[in-house]
Amino acid sequence: MTTSTNKWISEWLGGLGRVTLLARESIASLFTFKVAGKDLLYQVYFIGVKSQSVVLITGAFTGMVLAAQTYFQFHKVGMDTATLAVVGVSMCSELGPVLTGLMVAGRVGAAIAAEIGTMRVTEQIDALRTLATHPVDYIVVPRLAACVIALPLLTAESIAMGIAAGYMVGVHLLGIDAAYAWHNLVRYTGAVDVCIGLIKALIFGGLVALVGCYKGMSCGEGAEGVGRATTEAVVYSSISILIANFFLTLVLGKIFNIT
């Protein structure tokens, strides 16, 4: 391998190790109840409440498109009433948590990285250390806890909105029989699918917060460094969600014995 390739691999492994250490330190601080209630509530409001509009719109139109595309294919073989079942299973276990995580990564991950990066550039993080305040306790932990709390709730809203929008399109626009469509939805969409989606959302929330905080705390000097950290936070958190989703699908499928 070339020198540049070796350097890239070394930097990637070093960054992965630093993120792991940050996660360990944050979780340890989280379980020792060092989070200020006021900071946590503000972060839950900023991450959860202010992200509702984009999450609900994404969930609604995803459910509508999925219902329409499924109907067009199922109608060819006379399986129109199974359309809503496909929408329900897909939204609960895959599309709901993944798309919600990507939307939150684009909005919240960038904001976290920019805010913490600005604090680093203006030496506010060094000032916290001077005042005997651990930056992880004061900066990282409230955002991590808020993401872990807010993302499953946002995912539940996205799932409900996607199924409702799919039902409206399927029944009122495409003419699917409402009783059979609802019966198949309840029959094939179980609590296991919802649990898988919420577990994925829990982990995705942690990934978004950790990547955003790490990129902000390790950004370069000046406005260029903050901008680069913001871009990398969105890109890396989105890629992390997609990679983690694959492995979580395999692991959770085995745990819940989905066949």
Residues with Cβ < 8 Å from 236, sequence gap 6 or more?
Answer: 211, 215
For residues 176 and 225, give the distance between their C-alpha atoms in angstroms, rounded to a whole number: 54
Question: Which amino acid is located at 41 in the chain?
Answer: L
Closest CA relative to residue 61, chosen from 53, 49, 72 = 53
Q: What is the pLDDT of residues 87-129, one digit of tens each?
A: 999 999 999 999 999 999 998 988 999 888 888 888 887 787 7
Contact 89, 102 (CB under 8 A): no
Q: What is d(CA 114, CA 171) in angstroms, rounded to the nearest whole number?
A: 44
Other Cβ atoms closer than 10 A to 75: 14
pLDDT, tens digit, 9 for 90 and up, residues 48-61: 999 999 999 999 99
33 — alpha (psi -120 to 50), left (phi > 0) or beta?
A: left
Write the pLDDT tens digit of every residue in 188-232.
Answer: 888 899 999 999 999 999 999 999 998 888 887 777 888 888 898
Domain chopping of the chain, boundaries: 36-68+97-161+190-255
Which tokens sit at 20? 């792991």
Residue 17 has pLDDT above 90, yes or no: no
What does the pLDDT look like over 131-175, one tens digit per residue? 777 778 788 888 999 999 999 999 999 999 999 999 999 989 988
Q: Which pTM value belongs to this model?
A: 0.89
Between CA 242 and CA 189 the distance in angstroms is: 23
Alpha-helical regions (H) of the chain: 3-31, 37-47, 52-74, 83-90, 96-104, 110-121, 124-130, 135, 141-167, 178-188, 191-217, 222-255
What does the alpha-carbon distance between residue 202 and residue 121 come to, in Å, rounded to a whole number? 31
